[in-house]
Amino acid sequence: MAVVEILNIEEAGPDYLRLRGGNTDVRINFADDEMFSKEESAATFRHLLGKPAAIPVGEPFFIGVDFWRDRFDGSLKVVPFNFTVASVDRGEAVPTRSFTYEAMKENSQRNRTLRLSAAKS
């Protein structure tokens, strides 16, 4: 189990993504990899401004933007998108909403679904 933060996509810069929520401010600086440039990675989020996104508090790093509730157990599901990042800079580390997640492997390593449940205080 790991903890993720649910934040809003505030800004998609030329090579970075800024997420905000409550007192939390996170800047994700993308890096080039063999498939995508850092500019292409940032451009992925330009049409999602104002939408919620999930990022882990620890490792491994991913950004989840596709959410739905399981109709049987009511748990929140998130599809993670893996990006190559140069750095993740966090401002005041006060999450707006925290969840724990459990990775559920499906047919392939690239196709993963996460089971989220509310974190206990």
**What's the confidence (pLDDT) of residue 5?**
85
Domain residue spans of the chain? 2-118
> Is residue 28 within 8 Å of residue 85, measured between CB atoms?
yes
The token pair at 55 is 């990022």
DSSP at 47: G
The token pair at 22 is 């409550």
Percent of the chain with pLDDT over 90: 45
Residue, of 28 and 74, whose pLDDT is higher: 28
Question: Across the chain, which distance is largest between two alpha carbons, in Å?
Answer: 41
For 52, counting Cβ atoms within 10 Å of its Cβ (0-12 exposed, 13-18 middle, 19+ buried), the class is middle
Q: pLDDT tens digits for 45-101?
A: 999 999 999 998 888 889 998 877 788 887 777 788 899 999 999 886 444 455 555
